[in-house]
Amino acid sequence: MSWTYTLSVILFLVISLSQPFAQAVVPDVYSPAASVSRSEPDYTEARHLMEQGKFDEALTQLEQIRAGNPNAKGIDHEFGTTYYKKGEYSKAVESLKKAVAADANDKEAVQLLGLSHYLSGHPSEAIPLLEKVQGWYPRANVDASYILGVCYIQSKNYSQARRAFARMFEVGSDSAASYLFTARMLLRQEFDPVAEEYAQKAVTLDPKLPLGHFLLGELYTYKSRVPEAIEEFEKELAINPAHAETYYKLADAYSRMQKFDDAERLLQRSIWLDSTSTGPYVLMGKILEKKGESQLAVRALEHAAAMDPNNSITHHLLGQAYRNLGRTEDAARELKLSEQLKQAGGQKD
């Protein structure tokens, strides 16, 4: 396993987390091929315990090694890696700093130190380290550009974030696409005002840029600026008439204005273009129920439930539709299942 591959796996696992500073899935830093060969001391047992997820036992083993040899070569590297995998990022930072101070060429320690800073909520400290990692492999680490861009966002250095994302997607740093990509990342990080600014800049630079108006429509929907959202989604369809999700989002906006016939028409188009998404079926069921067409609503919602049986909202709406049809046992079953799924997934109404 090469160093480049190891870094890519580590960064990919980190950015896949829905909550970047919550519990982290940590990478397999050490493998027999990737381990740094050291004759003294012997870290084999500690690493084996770490790979098994027995972090406390691994730390105890390392403490024993350090007790016998306080200046053992690589000991801080081993402690830092173990703390990182355990998810104790502040302690990882302490050890990895010492490891890097002892060996500035310890690339594994440098990149883990950067990630530990990032995961412990200190993006400013992570930036120079991640920049260094990216400099070592300027074209190999797409994920490094993403994390670096997020760090810049969290540090409110938006222009540098745009450059990082432009590099990630291999577009010009001042292009309309770079502003669109950055706007999307800003929205994910809940930097809504700046996201709107960047999305507007994108469509100003290129009024026919696909998904530019779509992103603005999503943002305005989120802010309950429904007329503006409708306008942007309609502009997107003029540019991108085969985009199923735009029809779905536009239908959602119309439903919020209680224009149910228009919403139903748009949902049919969305489903014709993409029958694999559950969202349009769920919204169709909700709209049909509001129109008093409970039997048709049941058909749409049953289809959605078959596609995604773990969606509590679908089962709740299906329960309501069954109840309106007088199918009390089916309604009770679906409403109970909805509540169970909601509690299991920590969902909110």
Say which DSSP state 18 is in: S
**3-state SS assignment for residue 189:** coil
Give residue-wise pLDDT tens across range 260-318: 999 999 999 999 999 999 999 999 999 999 999 999 999 999 999 999 999 999 999 99
Instruction: Give yes or no for a contact between 110 and 80, defined as CB atoms under 8 angstroms apart.
Output: no
Full-prediction pTM beyond 0.85?
no
Do residues 270 and 280 touch, judged by C-beta distance below 8 A?
Answer: yes
Instruction: Judge whether 31 lies within some domain.
Output: yes
Q: Which domain covers residue 346, as residue numbers? A: 276-349
Per the structure block, which two tokens stand in for 193?
């005002």
**Domain end (from 120, 146, 168):** 120
344 pLDDT band (50/70/90 cuts)?
confident
- Of 120, 144, 165, which residue is a domain's last? 120
From CA 78, how far away is CA 14, in angstroms rounded?
20
The residue assigned the tokens 């089962």 is 315
DSSP-derived 3-state class of residue 278: helix
Q: Are 7 and 136 in contact (CB under 8 A)?
A: no
In a domain, 81, yes or no: yes
* Total tally of structural domains belonging to the chain: 2
Report the CATH number at residue 287.
Answer: 1.25.40.10
Domain membership flag for residue 334:
yes
CA dist., res. 162 & res. 167, Å (int) = 8
- Domain assignment present for 301: yes
Tell me if 6 is assigned to some domain.
yes
pLDDT of residue 134: 77
Cα 144 from Cα 310, distance rounded (Å): 34
Classify residue 197 by burial, with Cβ atoms within 10 Å: 0-12, 13-18, 19+.
middle
Does 34 fall in a domain? yes
Cα dist from 134 to 32, 140, 185, whole Å: 25, 8, 19
Domain end residue (candidates: 85, 120, 155) = 120
What does the pLDDT look like over 97-146, one tens digit per residue?
Answer: 999 999 988 988 998 999 899 999 899 999 999 888 777 765 545 666 78
